[in-house]
Chain A
Amino acid sequence: AQSVTQLDSQVPVFEEAPVELRCNYSSSVSVYLFWYVQYPNQGLQLLLKYLSGSTLVKGINGFEAEFNKSQTSFHLRKPSVHISDTAEYFCAVSDDKGYQKVTFGTGTKLQVIP
């Protein structure tokens, strides 16, 4: 069984400031890792994913995440946030095989302050 912990339920940050959203996971097998974003009243959209290879993964909208196996973490970062980044962000994990169910964290609400 796998689990995902997002310790920060809400993160306020000023516009143009950097942000890091933390994610830790637990699994007895090798994993794939994902970050999804959910804008208000919209569906989930994939930001980025780690399947294999380079541990630094770049996604859409200027976001990136780094897979750290020893710390079982997959933190999401952006060097300069915009108002439009205000949304809820979900970290997720699956077994490292295709077509697996995804286990989500409880989400982090990013509030960008003008």
Chain B
Amino acid sequence: QVTLRASGPALVKPTQTLTLTCTFSGFSLSATGMSVSWIRQPPGKALEWLARIDWDDDKYYSTSLKTRLTISKDTSKNQVVLTMTNMDPVDTATYYCARIGDDYVTLLYYWGQGALVTVS
């Protein structure tokens, strides 16, 4: 059974760096074709894709946020970490992590419960 869970601080101050952790089970991120992404959703607004890391350590970032984001993985701990620098109140959102589907095509198939982060 695939599960993911996003965790991190509930409150951060403006200009601080946010570190979020996605802890997962039921798969290995070292398996060929595997991929985990981060997505966020401001209150009452649309979903926004942030970043993705693949099994071979390839990394992809949102064009608009790439200067502020770093994604990494710790295969031994079954975790993916996202850092976002220079936080601003507009970054207040629920942050989700999601895994690619078993078809290895659908990037955001399995979703975890999100972590609400408030910047204030």
A is bound by B: no
